[in-house]
Structure 1
Amino acid sequence: MFANSIHPSTVSIFSASGSSPLQLFSSSVDKDLPADSFIHLLHDSASSPMPPERSIMIRPLRLSQQEATLPECGHELDQTALHIQSPDIRKTFICCPPESSEGIELGLKHPWVHIQVRNLGREWSFEVGLIDRASKMLRVRCSTFQRQPKIIQTQTTPLIHLPLSFPSITDHTLTTWSTISLHLASLLSKATTLAAATYVTADNDAEDGGHEQLGAAYDLPSSGYSHIAYIKIYATCRLRRIWFSEAALGQRIPWEFELYSATSNL
């Protein structure tokens, strides 16, 4: 998709406030749960417009009773977000490149990916496909329900499943929005070490938590990071932006990437 393009230091592939936010993505919704599963653009602080008829939107996670009575206190965004919701996260997601684009890879070489996401108090997951310089792929899935790092043995590409957690909510928490940053290059370099120290699961047991056994050797990517093949964002969350960069988040980001509340900058 971007393999033959000149890459600036920062590339945004999704912005909920863009004219066509999902232009580079395909989307999938669980058709067996039509009332509870949908993907919908809305204004974050107002939670409107409402989703399609017969859909039931979950209530966003509140920080405190004060926020429930004083919504203007600034914990939510005065911006558009993409609401992705489903009880079964495996079947409701967005993916770039589109899943129908067989053989097409994202092709960005940036070592960092950043995801602006809102914790809705439900299980959430995202996944990236990484390619090394020998054209081998490693799938990396991060999930809030995963408790320990685990390698899943598949017939095609190995998958590393990593635990993910949102910041704890305290009396001093400003918002349930977070920017999650992942250093893609280091994941490839640490894959072999992780394989030697963690558990593995056979592919046919991966989804139901089947019997775990100590892992054997894998044909893991080991020749250094080349580029990212795809990114997939699952339910349940609100999504503001996805971008790739050469540097970590500590450096100043473009002003349009910032998160803004109705009353002050978050």
Structure 2
Amino acid sequence: MFANSIQPSTVSIFSASGSNPLQLFSSSVDHDLPTDSFVHLLHDSTSSPLPPEPLIMIRPLRLTQQEAMLPECGHELQQTVLHIQSPNIPKTFIRCPPETSAATELGLKHPWMHIQARNLGREWSFEVGLVDRASKMLRVRCSTFQRQPKITQTQTTPLLHLPLSFPATTDHTLTTWSTISLHLASLLSKATILAAATNAAADDAAEDDTHEQQDPAYDLPSSAYSHISYIKIYATCRLRRIWFSEAALGQRIPWEFELYSATSNL
């Protein structure tokens, strides 16, 4: 999709407030859950417009019980966002490139990925495909239901599954929105280290049980990071923006990438 294009230092592939937010994405929902699974654009602070019947939207997470009594608490965004909801996470998602696209890979070479998402108090996950210079791919999945880093071999592609958590809410928490940043370029070596540790643990267990056990076969990328193959954002969350950059989040970003509350107490 972008492999043969000139790539600036910052590339945004999704903005919920754009004229056509899902232009670069395909979406999938679980049709076996006709009231609970959907992808829907709405205003964050008002949660409107509501999805069409028979769809039923979950109640957004409030920071405190007192805020649950208020129609607007000032911690939401004053703009359109994408609401992705389903009890069945694997079947409800958006994907770039679209699954039916002629472009098989995203092709961006940036080492950093940033996702602005709102915690809805439900399990959530996202996944990105990373390709090394030898054209081998690693799938990296981050999810709130994973407790420890884990690596597995799934058919032809290894999967690195990482735990993900939103910041804990306190009396001083300003918003349920977060910007999640992932250093993609370092994940290939982390997968190799985790695979070696997994194999070592398996060997120790085999010795304790006096059984022979072969090391799991991981077809891991063996060279340096090259580019991003795809990205999938699963249920359940609200999504504002996805972008890729050469620099970490701590460095200056365009003002429109910042999070702004719906109201101000000043």
TM-score (norm 1): 0.91
Unaligned runs of at least 5 residues, structure 2: 200-212
Q: Which residue is equivalent to 2:128?
A: 128
Paired residue secondary structure (2:122): coil
RMSD between superposed Cα atoms in Å: 1.7
Quote the Cα distance in structure 2 between the aligned partners of 1:29 and 1:216: 34
Q: Partners in 2 of 1:177 and 1:48 — Cα distance?
A: 18
Pair 122,187 (structure 1): closer, same or farther in 2 beyond 3 Å:
same
Structure 1: gaps spanning 5 or more residues: 200-212
Structure with greater Cα Rg: 2
Q: Which moved more, 1:169-178 or 1:215-224?
A: 215-224
> In the alignment, does 2:124 pair up with 1:109?
no
SS of 2:90 mapped into structure 1: helix
Going from structure 1 to structure 2, the CA distance change for 1:71 and 1:225 (only over 3 Å counts) comes to: same
CA distance in structure 2 between the partners assigned to 1:68 and 1:28 by the alignment: 31
Partner amino acid, structure 1, of 2:42: L
1:68-107 matches, cutoff 5 A: 68-101=68-101, 104-107=104-107
Which AA in structure 2 matches 1:261? S
**How far off its partner does 1:106 sit?**
0.2
Q: CA deviation at 1:258?
A: 1.2
Q: Structure 1 residues 121, 74: closer, same or farther in 2, change over 3 A? A: same
Alignment length (residue pairs): 253
**Amino acid paired to 1:172:** H
What one-letter code is carried by the residue in structure 2 that aligns with 1:130?
Answer: L
Q: Which residue of 2 aligns with 1:19?
A: 19
SS at match of 2:194: helix
Cα deviation for residue 237 of structure 1 reads: 0.2
In the TM superposition, residue 104 of structure 1 has moved relative to its aligned partner by 1.4
Q: Which residue of 2 aligns with 1:264?
A: 264
Pair 1:255–1:32, CA change in 2 (3 A): same
- Structure 1 residue 215: Cα displacement: 5.0
Indicate if the aligned counterparts of 1:79 and 1:260 stay in contact, CA closer than 8 A.
no
In the other structure, the counterpart of 2:209 is none
- Contact (CA 8 Å) 1:149, 1:198: kept in 2 or not? no
- After TM superposition, the structure 1 = structure 2 runs for residues 1-266 of structure 1, keeping only pairs within 5 Å, are 1-101=1-101, 104-198=104-198, 216-264=216-264
The whole-number CA distance in structure 2 between the counterparts of 1:37 and 1:168 is 26
CA distance in 2, matches of 1:40, 1:103: 25
**Relative to structure 1, is the Cα distance of residues 214 and 239 closer, same or farther in structure 2, using a 3 angstrom cutoff?**
farther
Q: Distance in 2 between matches of 1:72 and 1:239?
A: 19
Give distance in 1, aligned partners of 2:145 and 2:214: 21
Shift in CA distance, 87/215, structure 1 to aligned 2, threshold 3 Å: farther
Amino acid at match of 1:45: S
Displacement of 1:72 in angstroms is: 3.9
The structural deviation recorded for 1:68 is: 2.0
Alpha-carbon contact 1:123-1:236 (below 8 Å) kept: yes
1:198 is displaced (CA, Å) by: 3.4
SS of 2:66's equivalent in the other structure is helix
CA offsets 1:81-101 (integer angstroms, 9 cap, x no match): 100000000100000000112
| TM-score, scaled to structure 2 | 0.91
Q: What SS does the corresponding residue of 1:198 show, helix, strand or coil? A: helix
Is the Cα–Cα contact under 8 Å of residues 196 and 215 in structure 1 kept in the other structure? no
